Structure 1
Amino acid sequence: MPRMTARSRTEEHRASTPLELFFDLCFVVAVAQAGGRLVHAVVEGHPGTGVAGYLAVFFAIWWAWVNFSWFASAYDTDDALYRVVTFVQITGVLIFAAGVPRAFDNGDWTLGVIGYVVMRLALTSQWLRVAHYAEGAERTVARRYAAGIVLLQLGWIGMLFVPAGANGARSAVFVVLALCELAVPTIAERDLGTSWHPHHIGERYGLFTIIVLGETIAAATVAVQEAVDEHEALDELLPVAAGGLLLVFAAWWIYFAVPIHSYLRGSRQAFVWGYGHYVIFGSAAAIGSGIEVAVEEAIGKAHVSTTVASAAVTVPAAVYLLTVWLIHARHFKRDLAEQLPLPLAAVAVLGCTFAGEWAVFAAGLVAAATVAVGVSLSRRPASGTPGAVVSPNRM
């Protein structure tokens, strides 16, 4: 069995492995469950409860994926033991996904916590394997990760014993535990950072963005198909379908307009960028849920107004545009002209909320126009602005 030692950050041709791609695809099940329950809550007239549940569930999905991806970037040995432990993590993902409806509908997190604990303890065994072969500061980092993960799993199990209706006590415990989860990498790596690979991490996040956007298209397609089959309301659905497609296409274009690996020079940039993707991934997936809500409202099956249904699309779309600019794209902009399109587009998309039955289509047109403006601006001759990370593909 090979030693689990750190891979080089300058390793050439470092790309995602088939196992990592398989791992990502299994997460689609959990993302679909979260999105589906969000749709159900909003359609039934409980958007606040739905959004709160969605944010909590998506945090667990995102954080488990993040931890696996960064660990794999530094220590993937791809041997038999590593693969088996990864399969255990995938099993945890599927258990967690099965528990999503109960968590949403009844506040019963038992099955979800079991799945999450399976995922996290499997990763703990990987860190202990690193500690077995590592020396000095690297061994300390691995042990800190293992200890932090185990302690927090005890916390999540303890949360189950807090009554769901105890004046928001369980929600408060959830928030505290989530913040502690986010703190583990910072504490563990305060003396030595792990040897994650910039190209590999950039590719991993990009691939998960594609998977999330693909789930958005799939969910919207099913919603439109069911509506057409049951109601034959094609005229009402065309603006929603066309606008939704334009939004997803623009979301892909905007995200992949820059080669982010050239920005990820150290842990400080990487932590902020990586953590910020909770909002990017979550809002991208929520766009698909919003399109489903808009379809349900268009055929008269949703217990919400047209404005609320439109907001289910425009709000996550605006959040996506603004967050992609804030943590991802702005580092490649040369001047104010290139900085403004995405923030202005986010505001314009929010304004589309009040465009009635044409709101989704209008938002799609704004997103498409933003891409066109960005491409036009990127073709200007480089001015050599100090501090800018110049890319021929920036948007």
Structure 2
Amino acid sequence: MTSETLKPAPRRLNHGLQRMLGRDNHEQGRAATPLELLYDLAFAASFATAGNLFAHGIAEGHTVPAIIGFGFAMFSLVWAWINFSWFASAFDTDDWLFRLLTMVQMAGVVILALGLPAMFESIDHGEVLDNRVMIAGYVVMRVALVCQWLRAARSGSRYRTTAMTYAVFVSVAQILWIVIAILPLTLVFALLGGLVALLVEIAGPLVAESRGAKNGTATPWHAHHIAERYSLLAIIALGEGVFGTIAAVTTVTTEYGWSFDAIVLVVVGMVLIFGMWWVYFMVPAAEVLHVHRERSFPWGYGHFFIFASIAATGAGLHIVAYTFDEHYHVSDVTAVLAVAIPVLIFLLTVFTLYSYLLRTIDAFHALLALASVAVLAASVVMAANGASISVSLLVGMLAPVVVVIGYESVGHRHAAAHLDRIEQDAPAPH
């Protein structure tokens, strides 16, 4: 054997075009790429924009329009992110065309974010919904993804039908969105039209993957990779809570200097964010999805409530800042509710996803859920009965802490037992 035969294969340092043949869904060491992390940063900025508009609307007393606008914005952003992330988990080639089309999608995110103020304002005024710029950005994202699906369809015969199904459904949905943007629709009719387009969007993955599961052509997404992708976006969204904490503390210190309230807000913000992070990672999503891929849809789409509630928690901390700003008249109860409600949605969604993935309604975890609800309710009741906002928030921040303590002391044993039962069905490595 010559030394020449022992030379390692040449490294691939360029990014020439490759066929999209599908990734190995058992690939060892599969992790998020630098491009995916860069892509997520565009969404982080958009979450912040939506959160700021939401907080400002609440502070101005326009609660219902703010909630509608925030929900519309978050759904558009999260849905587009979900679709790209699952596609990339299955077909990422990291060639120059994949990178450029990802850049186009990032540009679409920026355009969508630029359209959010006009959309929020039109909802607030109750006139024709001005979602033209927002939809333009969304369509840019989706058209770029259609190009990726067409590449996957053209690259090989195995996933051709599945890829074309995605491409067709996404394309039809974009036509509907464009029609909605062009027509001068009021909010009600725009939402009804959006519901139709949304149903088309949702039908695409359901039809494509259900057909693919029957004939072995479902997209080859990687369970551990996709779980990591979701967790990274959750962490990025939690950064909005850090910004909210900084905004609240800055407002207090600017008006009154460092005080008890300022110190409490630092503690509340950090404990809430850290506690929510800890709770999120209690769910063994990767391990379960690796064995039961069919459980991916409710888990994946259920994260809309995870991401939206995390972003809304950060916005709630912004609203707390407005209670110390003399230019706004935000009551303590409103501010506490603005934090408590999204934290409640987050915790209940995590418990729901945990129970769904592990196929169990664990009595102890149900007790923890009820305890966290009771803590959050107590914080609101205290604010309504004259307790200071600082004391009320100190109580509310204990909601995720209760869950963490319960899980780390007892609950982890229950989770391990359920996971051991599931992993007995794990496919043999190949």
Fold shared, TM-score > 0.5 on shorter chain: yes
More moved, 190-199 vs 219-228: 219-228
Match of 1:174 in 2: 194
> How far does residue 129 in structure 1 lie from its aligned partner after superposition?
0.3
Looking at structure 2, the residues matched to 337 and 40 of structure 1 have their Cα atoms a distance apart, in angstroms, of 39
> How far does residue 177 in structure 1 lie from its aligned partner after superposition?
1.9
1:369 has 2:371 as partner:
no
1:344 to 371, 374, 377: 371
Match of 2:221 in 1: 196
Look up the SS of the partner of 2:228 in the other structure: helix
> How far does residue 346 in structure 1 lie from its aligned partner after superposition?
2.9
1:287 has 2:308 as partner:
no
2:335 to 306, 309, 312: 309
> How far does residue 350 in structure 1 lie from its aligned partner after superposition?
3.1
Looking at structure 2, the residues matched to 383 and 19 of structure 1 have their Cα atoms a distance apart, in angstroms, of 34
Q: One-letter code of the match for 1:182?
A: I
Looking at structure 2, the residues matched to 248 and 88 of structure 1 have their Cα atoms a distance apart, in angstroms, of 32
1:2 has 2:24 as partner:
no
Q: Is the 8 A contact 1:7 1:195 kept in 2?
A: yes
2:142 to 120, 124, 128: 120
> How far does residue 379 in structure 1 lie from its aligned partner after superposition?
6.1
> How far does residue 291 in structure 1 lie from its aligned partner after superposition?
0.9
Q: Is the 8 A contact 1:287 1:313 kept in 2?
A: yes
CA 1:241 to 1:179, structure 2 compared with 1: closer, same or farther past 3 Å?
Answer: farther
Q: One-letter code of the match for 2:168?
A: A
Number of residues of Structure 1 aligned to a counterpart in Structure 2: 388
Match of 1:245 in 2: 270
1:157 to 146, 158, 178: 178
**Structure 1 runs not aligned, ≥5 long:** 391-395
Q: Is the 8 A contact 2:66 2:120 kept in 1?
A: yes
CA 1:239 to 1:189, structure 2 compared with 1: closer, same or farther past 3 Å?
Answer: same
Q: Residues 1-395 of structure 1: matches in 2 within 5 Å?
A: 1-106=17-122, 107-135=129-157, 138-165=159-186, 168-192=188-212, 193-232=218-257, 234-264=259-289, 265-328=291-354, 331=357, 335-356=362-383, 357=389, 358-378=391-411, 384=417, 389=422
Looking at structure 2, the residues matched to 269 and 318 of structure 1 have their Cα atoms a distance apart, in angstroms, of 24
Looking at structure 2, the residues matched to 157 and 380 of structure 1 have their Cα atoms a distance apart, in angstroms, of 51
Q: Is the 8 A contact 1:43 1:293 kept in 2?
A: yes
> How far does residue 387 in structure 1 lie from its aligned partner after superposition?
7.9
Deviation track 1:233-282 (CA, whole Å, cap 9, x = no partner) reads 73334333322221111100011124311111344310000000000100
More moved, 305-314 vs 354-363: 354-363
> How far does residue 372 in structure 1 lie from its aligned partner after superposition?
1.4
Look up the SS of the partner of 2:29 in the other structure: coil
Q: One-letter code of the match for 2:141?
A: M
Q: One-letter code of the match for 2:145?
A: L
Q: One-letter code of the match for 1:173?
A: G
> How far does residue 367 in structure 1 lie from its aligned partner after superposition?
2.2
Deviation track 1:299-346 (CA, whole Å, cap 9, x = no partner) reads 444333221211000000001000011013674579422442134313
Looking at structure 1, the residues matched to 403 and 55 of structure 2 have their Cα atoms a distance apart, in angstroms, of 28
Match of 2:426 in 1: none
Q: Is the 8 A contact 2:355 2:361 kept in 1?
A: no
Look up the SS of the partner of 2:202 in the other structure: helix
Looking at structure 2, the residues matched to 28 and 351 of structure 1 have their Cα atoms a distance apart, in angstroms, of 32
Looking at structure 2, the residues matched to 382 and 361 of structure 1 have their Cα atoms a distance apart, in angstroms, of 29
Q: Is the 8 A contact 1:247 1:364 kept in 2?
A: yes
Q: One-letter code of the match for 1:121?
A: V
**Structure 2 runs not aligned, ≥5 long:** 1-16, 123-128, 213-217, 384-388, 424-430
Match of 1:393 in 2: none
Q: One-letter code of the match for 1:305?
A: S
CA 1:25 to 1:55, structure 2 compared with 1: closer, same or farther past 3 Å?
Answer: same
Looking at structure 2, the residues matched to 235 and 7 of structure 1 have their Cα atoms a distance apart, in angstroms, of 54
CA 1:43 to 1:387, structure 2 compared with 1: closer, same or farther past 3 Å?
Answer: same
More moved, 100-109 vs 335-344: 335-344
TM-score of the pair, normalised by structure 1: 0.92
Q: Is the 8 A contact 2:173 2:198 kept in 1?
A: no
> How far does residue 133 in structure 1 lie from its aligned partner after superposition?
1.5
> How far does residue 164 in structure 1 lie from its aligned partner after superposition?
4.2
Looking at structure 2, the residues matched to 279 and 384 of structure 1 have their Cα atoms a distance apart, in angstroms, of 27
Q: One-letter code of the match for 1:154?
A: I
TM-score of the pair, normalised by structure 2: 0.85
Looking at structure 2, the residues matched to 386 and 62 of structure 1 have their Cα atoms a distance apart, in angstroms, of 28
> How far does residue 54 in structure 1 lie from its aligned partner after superposition?
0.3
> How far does residue 355 in structure 1 lie from its aligned partner after superposition?
1.9
Percent identity (aligned): 36
Q: One-letter code of the match for 1:212?
A: A
Greater Rg by CA: 2
Deviation track 1:1-34 (CA, whole Å, cap 9, x = no partner) reads 2111111111111100000000001111110110
Looking at structure 2, the residues matched to 94 and 110 of structure 1 have their Cα atoms a distance apart, in angstroms, of 14
> How far does residue 386 in structure 1 lie from its aligned partner after superposition?
9.2
